[in-house]
Amino acid sequence: MSSIESMVSEIEEDYHRILKSFESYVDPTEGYYRFKKISENELLKLLRDVMNFQRKLEYFIEFTIRLSKNTEYTKRLREIADKLLNKLSNVKEIDTVGFWHYQSAGSYQDEFNIVGVIPELKQSHKDFLHNNETSSRRSCYCAYFGFKSLSSNLIEMEEELRLIGALTTYPIEKKTRLKHQLVINDFEEVAVSLEEAESNVESEHFKDSVSRCRDAVEILIAFVREQETGEKTERHFATDLAKIVKIGVFDEGTQKLAQGIYSFLSLKGSHKYDAKKVTVYDAETALKETYSLIEMLLKKYLDLKKDKTRKE
C-alpha cells in the first residue's frame, strides 16, 4: 500500500471510530437534549480523540505538501483542508440545529448555532462543570452534528490526496525510499541537492531547481568515479561519466541516457540562461527525469558492488 493510501486509510478508520463513539450517546427520539447523559471522563475522551484527529489531519496535509513540492496541486489541497479544519476548530457559526421545547401550552423548536467541533466540546465541558446539564448535552449534540458533517469534506480531501499521489512529478513514496537509499549509501549530498531542488519549485525559483537537479547528477557521478578509481575529480560530468563507463560501472546505453538528461539540465539551469524562460513545467520535468535517472544509476551501482562482493 502506498503512503498516500495508508494515510487515507488511517484517516477513514479514525473518523469512523470517533463517529461511532459520538453515535453511542445520540438519542434521535429525544428532541429536547438529543444526547444521552455523559460522564466527565467520557466527555473529555471525546474531546481528546477529536483533537488528536485534527492534529493527524494537519500532519498528513503538511507531510503531503512538503513532499510533493508541487504548487499546482497543493494549492487546491490547502483550500480543501482549510475548510475541513475550520469545521473542527472555528469559534464562529458554521451551521444551525433545532431543539424542541415542551410546555403545557404546546411545543416549539429553537435553533442553536453550531461552531467548530472542538469549541463545542470545550463549551460542553464548561457547562458540565457548572452543572448546566441541558447546555452541556446540547453542546455535545452540536459537536456530533458538526463532526458528522465532516464526511463530505473528508471525501473531497482524500480524493485530492490520491490525485496528488498519482500526478506529482515522481511518486511521493518513491522519493522517500530513494532519499533514504542515497543517505545510507553515503550519497547524502545528492539527497540534499534533491531536497533543495524541490524547495526551489515550491518557492517558484524554477531555474534554481533545475540547477540543483544538475548538481545532484554531477555529484553522484563524481562520487562513483572517486569510489571506483580512487582518483580525485573536479566534477566534470562528461569526463567522470566516460571514465566510469570505460571501467564497466555503467554501459553505453546508460551513458547516452544520462548525457541527454544532463544536457537538458545544463541548458535550463545555466547561469547564462534567462530565468524568466524557465517554467514550472521545465522544473517539474527536470525533477522527474533527475529522480528517475538517479534511481536507475544508484540501483546499477549498488548491484555492481553486490556482484563484486559475492565474487570476492
Q: How confident is the model over 86-95, as a mean pLDDT?
A: 89
Whether residue 247 contacts residue 229, with contact meaning beta carbons closer than 8 Å, is answered with yes
**Higher-pLDDT residue of 239, 30:** 239
How far apart, in whole angstroms, are the C-alpha atoms of residue 225 and residue 172?
29
Query: What integer pLDDT is reported at residue 32 of this predicted model?
Result: 65
Amino acid type, 194: L
What is the percent of the chain with per-residue pLDDT over 90, rounded to a whole number? 56
| pTM exceeding 0.75 | no
How far apart, in whole angstroms, are the C-alpha atoms of residue 101 and residue 301?
76
Q: If you ran DSSP here, which 8-state letter would residue 70 be given?
A: -
How far apart, in whole angstroms, are the C-alpha atoms of residue 46 and residue 66?
30
Residue 98 backbone class (left: φ over 0; alpha: ψ -120 to 50; beta: rest)? beta
Q: Could you give the domains of the chain?
A: 3-164 (no CATH), 169-311 (1.20.120.330)
Query: What integer pLDDT is reported at residue 128 of this predicted model?
Result: 95
For the stretch 101-146, pLDDT in tens is 555 555 555 677 888 999 999 999 999 999 999 889 989 999 999 9
Has residue 168 got a pLDDT over 80?
no
Query: What integer pLDDT is reported at residue 112 of this predicted model?
Result: 75
For the stretch 201-252, pLDDT in tens is 877 888 999 999 999 999 999 999 999 999 888 889 999 999 999 999 999 9
Has residue 305 got a pLDDT over 50?
yes
Query: What integer pLDDT is reported at residue 308 of this predicted model?
Result: 79
